[in-house]
């Protein structure tokens, strides 16, 4: 299973989602079953400072991460592509064969730490629900 989190700058929402997904994957013992990918259509030069602070508060350091470009080739085999409510028009849904979800989240860029904490909480909850769905599908027909 390949899950991609896509945004324009890959400097906030998609980075938070990927970090939470990596933690869920580890905590649920799905390291061999779920690949996590993140990127942006026009990546920023760095992750937003307020996002780094907010994620460090919950034990997820983003210090070693940098925004990266996502291409249609990166997404070709993605089972689920999640956009963050931003205009990811450069990555057309026709370029992948899997499911597309848009989470419609506000951009944390320029927001207060309190506002970013709210966005972080929503992303954490959505990623948890996503992994609940992935596990349910894994244990259902055709699963282990």
Summarised one tens digit per residue, pLDDT across range 79-108 is 999 999 865 455 555 566 678 899 999 999
Structure-model confidence comparison of residues 144 and 86, the more confident one: 86
Distance CA 84, CA 103 (A): 5
Instruction: Give a yes or no: residue 105 inside a domain.
Output: yes
Summarised one tens digit per residue, pLDDT across range 6-62 is 998 999 999 999 999 999 999 999 999 999 999 998 899 999 999 999 999 999 999
Query: Can you give the pTM of this predicted structure?
Result: 0.90
Domain of 73, CATH number, reads 3.40.50.2300
For range 104-131, the mean pLDDT: 97
Instruction: Give a yes or no: residue 49 inside a domain.
Output: yes
| Structural domain containing residue 75 | 2-134
Give the contacts of 66 (CB within 8 A, at least 6 positions apart): 45, 46, 47
Instruction: Give a yes or no: residue 130 inside a domain.
Output: yes
Instruction: Give a yes or no: residue 143 inside a domain.
Output: no
Instruction: Give a yes or no: residue 21 inside a domain.
Output: yes
**Structural domains of the chain, count:** 1
Instruction: Give a yes or no: residue 29 inside a domain.
Output: yes
């Amino acid at each position: 299973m390949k899950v991609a989190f896509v945004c324009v700058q890959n400097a906030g929402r998609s980075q938070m989602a990927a970090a939470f997904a990596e933690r869920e994957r580890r905590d649920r013992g799905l390291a061999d079953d779920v690949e996590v990918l993140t990127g942006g259509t026009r990546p920023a030069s760095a992750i937003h400072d307020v996002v780094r602070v907010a994620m460090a508060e919950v034990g997820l350091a983003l210090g070693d991460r940098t925004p990266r470009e996502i291409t249609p080739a990166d997404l070709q085999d993605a089972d689920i592509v999640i956009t963050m409510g931003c205009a990811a028009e450069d990555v057309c849904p026709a370029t992948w064969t899997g499911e597309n979800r848009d989470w419609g989240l506000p951009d944390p860029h320029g927001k207060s730490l309190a506002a970013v904490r709210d966005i972080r909480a929503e992303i954490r909850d959505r990623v948890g629900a996503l992994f609940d769905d992935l596990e349910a599908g894994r244990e259902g027909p055709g699963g282990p």
